[in-house]
Amino acid sequence: MIRKRRYPLEPTAEEMRDMLEQVSERIIAHIDSLESQPASYDSDGRLVAKDFAEAVPTSGSDFETLLDRLFDDATPHSYNTAGPGYLAYIPGGGIFPSAIADLIANAINRYVGVWIAAPALVQLELNVIRWFCEIVGYGSGSGGVLTSGGSLSNLTAIVAARRERLGDDLQNGVIYTSDQTHHSVRKSAVVAGFSESAVRHIETDEFQQIRVDQLRDEIQIDLAAGRAPFLIVGSAGTTNTGAVDDLEGLANLAQKEGLWFHVDAAYGGFFALTERGRRAMAGLERADSITLDPHKGLFLPYGTGALLVKDEGALRRAHATFADYMPAMQHDPDFVDFCDLSAELSRDFRGLRIWLPMKLFGLEAFREALEEKLELADWITHQLRKIPEVEVVTEPRLSLVSFRLLDDPDGEATHRLMQSINKRKNVYLTGTLVDGQFAIRICVLSFRTHHDRMELCANDIREAVSEVTTLN
Ligand SMILES: Cc1ncc(COP(=O)(O)O)c(C=O)c1O
């Protein structure tokens, strides 16, 4: 039955079908062309952005024209983050069924913040959390929440740790992490009410791993000065070089001193699905809380993070509150009201974006894709070693390798090398400082990156090296 349009905000069934058809045409064409789209853009972003500034639309526009504007005019002026050549920062993903899941979730628009509003849908999201707990090696009593990304997961972890170890007295609290930790940890500490000086950035060794001996000493110094050490944040895959801290060593120290142990595994966490990842991250399951980013290691679209805690009660104690107008919350450990476990009340049904592809493909498909990323990172490292002018700066502990030109103390030539690689538009690489010196990073994490693209990458690097070194 085709409904008649009675209100402007309610399209008819026919109109909805037409919109979906138009969108599916565009999306399929877009995804089909991802491989041939340039890895980055050349346009002047300022001009493009200005062209898109617009006044409040007082009347409506034609749907097709809006799609043209989005797909043809706006999208091309962006990094091709969903394409196979995106090897920059930490690549994202964007597996297609997640897009379908978002469409369904937004179309049905059910409320998953509280259990009573949609028990079965909340259960699907809880299943996802429990699967993740299993992947990292957590047992019964563990739990967690889906967040918008690693930054919010780290913040939520700090809030839980603060509550569990400091109660209401934050004043002397001290947080320990390494000088390689993602900057969201410092930011989260400040948002959670600590001063920047309450965050100790402990030195790292030649493998960019936190120096546990120095951390031990720092804790003793702070204790002797009457401060209140309460949290150690380890990294399972740093953004800079992919380094994984000695998680067993950190767990032992945290246990001895009674500190909360959080692991930021936003980049590395899902490699726990692989044999090599599990070895590299030994001790992960001993953490009190773990940040995972499904929009990194599970290839999902941006906006999908997760925080897991060994004791779900810790999240509840930090976040649960009440109001007269709210329904009764669940106390049965089998059920959960997500609003009791995080700062959010209303939010999207983000669990569906994970549940649908995991059910559709099965875990094995993700494991295989992650194994492939590890192999590709090893392969490109091997290619880099064959270039005489290049030095591998950090080996892939997981899927990230960094390199630079030899005899380039100020990094200027390496910088030019990166520009020369990127201007070919087959891949997009970014740089960082390793021990104060500029290095180019290759982070292989897109589910669309396969051997053919890595061959292009190796080729471009070789060509760019001869271009830059000839000019020198
Ligand atoms: C190790 C690490 N932690 C935290 C984050 C922050 O995650 P998000 O960008 O999802 O907020 C990142 C982002 O790249 C990361 O690599």
How many domains are there within the chain? 2
442: CATH: 3.90.1150.10
pLDDT of residue 434: 97
Instruction: Please tell me whether residues 269 and 194 are part of one structural domain.
Output: yes
Instruction: Please tell me whether residues 287 and 155 are part of one structural domain.
Output: yes
Domain end call among 305, 330, 363: 363
Of 86, 151, 399, the one to substitute when testing ligand 1's pocket (max ligand atoms within 8 A of C-beta) is: 151
Domain end call among 314, 330, 363: 363
> Could you tell me if residue 83 is inside a domain?
no
| Bridge partners for 201 per DSSP | 177
> Could you tell me if residue 217 is inside a domain?
yes
> Could you tell me if residue 113 is inside a domain?
yes
Q: What pLDDT, in 10s, does the model give residues 313-346? A: 999 999 999 999 999 999 898 999 999 999 999 9
Instruction: Please tell me whether residues 240 and 378 are part of one structural domain.
Output: no
pLDDT of residue 3: 56
Q: What pLDDT, in 10s, does the model give residues 211-249? A: 999 999 999 999 999 999 999 999 999 999 999 999 999
Instruction: Please tell me whether residues 332 and 368 are part of one structural domain.
Output: no
Q: Determine the average pLDDT of the residues in 16-37.
A: 97
> Could you tell me if residue 321 is inside a domain?
yes
Please say whether the beta carbons of 246 and 274 come within 8 A: no
Q: State CA 205 to chain mean position distance.
A: 25
- pLDDT surpassing 60 at residue 2: no
Q: Is 151 in the pocket of ligand 1 (CB under 6 A)?
A: yes
Nearest to 429 by CA among 437, 378, 421: 421
Q: What pLDDT, in 10s, does the model give residues 388-440? A: 999 999 999 999 999 999 999 999 999 999 999 999 999 999 999 999 999 99
> Could you tell me if residue 356 is inside a domain?
yes
Q: Is 342 in the pocket of ligand 1 (CB under 6 A)?
A: no
Q: What pLDDT, in 10s, does the model give residues 126-166? A: 999 999 999 999 999 999 999 999 999 999 999 999 999 99
Domain carrying residue 159:
103-363
Residue nearest to atom 4 of ligand 1 (CA): 150
Please say whether the beta carbons of 215 and 176 come within 8 A: yes
pLDDT of residue 6: 75
Q: Is 178 in the pocket of ligand 1 (CB under 6 A)?
A: no
Instruction: Please tell me whether residues 328 and 340 are part of one structural domain.
Output: yes
Q: Which atom of ligand 1 is nearest to the CA of 237?
A: 1
Instruction: Please tell me whether residues 406 and 442 are part of one structural domain.
Output: yes
> Could you tell me if residue 45 is inside a domain?
no
| Bridge partners for 290 per DSSP | 263, 308
Instruction: Please tell me whether residues 348 and 449 are part of one structural domain.
Output: no
Instruction: Please tell me whether residues 197 and 339 are part of one structural domain.
Output: yes
312: CATH: 3.40.640.10
Do the strands 400-405 and 390-394 form a parallel or antiparallel pair, or are they unpaired? antiparallel
Number of C-beta neighbours around residue 36 at 10 A: 8
Instruction: Please tell me whether residues 275 and 141 are part of one structural domain.
Output: yes
Domain end call among 331, 363, 395: 363
> Could you tell me if residue 48 is inside a domain?
no
d(CA 371, CA 365): 10
Instruction: Please tell me whether residues 434 and 338 are part of one structural domain.
Output: no
> Could you tell me if residue 438 is inside a domain?
yes
d(CA 98, CA 356): 7
Instruction: Please tell me whether residues 305 and 235 are part of one structural domain.
Output: yes
Q: Is 267 in the pocket of ligand 1 (CB under 6 A)?
A: yes
d(CA 158, CA 184): 11
Instruction: Please tell me whether residues 346 and 423 are part of one structural domain.
Output: no
- pLDDT surpassing 60 at residue 278: yes
